[in-house]
């Protein structure tokens, strides 16, 4: 028997006739913060729904802390879930939203008051107990959703793209809040996202999913610096992927074949053995993004804001230094 805290063995999941996750094996250590990363439709939210008890598996087994929970009802799993939409009760105050799970578990009296107040204070909402959700900002509503999940002291906390509805500043704030809560509570967390920056910033381990399977998993540094496939490379910002040519010539990449990948910032503009036509140049503040058309495929480059201005239609030489390339298996 596996000694993993959460263990998914041969998990097969689907909706109707559609198979979303064919056969998934994944284990988590206690206290780990793991990110499931991938594009829409890759199976990450489906996997989380199965762990939460909201989707029965077609096959396979789910164990949590040594207990088989595959067929256990959702409210008996000791699993907390934070939704993308917050899912707060609009007619209940902050206090009552947070206390809701405790009331379902027949916790009452002084213990309910104490645990609810502690959870509200933990997410920085002391003094907001009587407010309704409509009287809160998006970030505050997300904090209420977090407090409602942690107040029941789950063994495992699942977060389904919880920051996607927030603006950029609030997302940064809530990232820090999640990291603080995870350290203070010591709770095991699984975080679903399509945002690679969130996954890299938050997680101890990142699992990249593609079509219901694990494409690659490892530490944030491993995933970001050493992607093994073109799919993972492109997902973490290596947007220039070409076939591995022995003479360094640019050749179109073919799915399943070895290749090389470069980030836009690694492209050297204005000199080099390759040539392309400028299709567009976009000012991004800290850099200028330049898109080139070549016979082997598009090349995306980044230049300094004070670099020479590039004009659409201009022919431009460039280099993709082999020393900077990441080798891809296929």
Same domain, 42 and 72: yes
Same domain, 33 and 160: yes
Bridge partners of 67, per DSSP, are 64
Evaluate whether residue 1 is within a structural domain.
Answer: no
Please report, for the domain that includes residue 116, its CATH number.
3.40.50.300
Q: What percent of the chain has pLDDT over 70?
A: 99
Same domain, 201 and 180: yes
The whole-model pTM stands at: 0.87
Evaluate whether residue 231 is within a structural domain.
Answer: no
State residue 142's pLDDT score.
85
Evaluate whether residue 108 is within a structural domain.
Answer: yes
pLDDT band, residue 12 (cuts 50/70/90)? very high
State residue 180's pLDDT score.
83
Query: Is residue 280 within 8 Å of 291, Cβ to Cβ?
Result: yes
Same domain, 292 and 176: no
Domain hosting residue 317, numbered range: 237-328
Same domain, 62 and 200: yes
Same domain, 258 and 183: no
Same domain, 213 and 100: yes
- The pLDDT tens digits for 47-85 are 999 999 999 999 999 999 999 999 999 988 999 888 877
Tell me the C-alpha distance between 50 and 130, whole Å.
Answer: 34
State residue 252's pLDDT score.
94
pLDDT band, residue 111 (cuts 50/70/90)? very high
State residue 174's pLDDT score.
78
Evaluate whether residue 232 is within a structural domain.
Answer: no
In the predicted structure, residue 230 carries a pLDDT above the cut 90: yes
pLDDT band, residue 175 (cuts 50/70/90)? confident
Q: Which of 225, 247, 268 is the last residue of a domain?
A: 225
pLDDT band, residue 2 (cuts 50/70/90)? low
| Mean of pLDDT over the chain | 92
Distances from the Cα of 58 to the Cαs of 13, 23, 44, in angstroms? Answer: 6, 10, 16
Tell me the C-alpha distance between 237 and 262, whole Å.
Answer: 8
Same domain, 171 and 59: yes
State residue 255's pLDDT score.
86
Evaluate whether residue 230 is within a structural domain.
Answer: no
Query: How many other CB atoms are found less than 10 A from the CB of residue 283?
Result: 10
For 314-317, the CB contacts below 8 A with 24+ separation are 314/277, 314/278, 315/275, 315/276, 315/277, 315/278, 316/269, 316/270, 316/275, 316/276, 316/277, 316/278, 316/290, 316/292, 317/270, 317/271, 317/272, 317/273, 317/274, 317/275
State residue 1's pLDDT score.
42
Q: In total, how many domains does the chain have?
A: 2
- The pLDDT tens digits for 40-52 are 999 999 999 999 9
């Amino acid at each position: 028997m596996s000694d993993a805290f959460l263990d998914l063995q041969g998990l097969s999941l689907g909706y109707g006739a559609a198979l979303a996750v064919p056969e998934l094996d994944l284990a988590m250590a206690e206290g780990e913060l793991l990110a499931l990363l991938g594009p829409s439709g890759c199976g990450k939210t489906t996997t989380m729904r199965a762990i939460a008890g909201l989707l029965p598996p077609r096959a396979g087994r789910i164990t949590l802390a040594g207990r088989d929970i595959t067929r256990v009802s959702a409210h008996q799993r000791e699993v907390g879930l934070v939704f993308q939409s917050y899912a707060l009760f609009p007619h209940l105050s902050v206090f009552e939203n947070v206390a809701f799970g405790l009331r379902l578990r027949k916790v009452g009296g002084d213990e309910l008051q104490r645990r609810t107040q502690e959870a509200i204070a933990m997410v920085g909402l002391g003094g907001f107990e009587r407010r309704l959700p409509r009287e809160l900002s998006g970030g505050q509503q997300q904090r209420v959703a977090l407090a409602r999940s942690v107040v029941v002291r789950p063994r495992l906390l699942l977060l389904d793209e919880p920051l996607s509805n927030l603006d950029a500043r609030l997302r940064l704030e809530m990232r820090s809040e999640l990291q603080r809560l995870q350290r203070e509570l010591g709770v095991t967390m699984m975080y679903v996202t399509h945002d690679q920056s969130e996954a890299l910033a938050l997680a101890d381990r990142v699992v990249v999913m593609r079509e219901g399977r694990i494409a690659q998993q490892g530490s944030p540094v491993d995933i970001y610096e050493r992607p093994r496939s073109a799919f993972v490379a492109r997902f973490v910002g290596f947007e220039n992927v070409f076939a591995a040519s022995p003479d360094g010539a640019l050749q179109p990449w073919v799915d399943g074949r070895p290749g090389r990948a470069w980030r836009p910032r690694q492209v050297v503009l204005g000199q080099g053995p390759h040539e392309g036509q400028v299709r567009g140049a976009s000012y991004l503040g800290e850099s200028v993004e330049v898109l080139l058309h070549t016979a082997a495929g598009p090349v995306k480059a980044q230049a300094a804001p004070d670099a020479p201005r590039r004009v659409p239609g201009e022919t431009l030489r460039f280099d993709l230094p082999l020393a900077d390339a990441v080798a891809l298996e296929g």
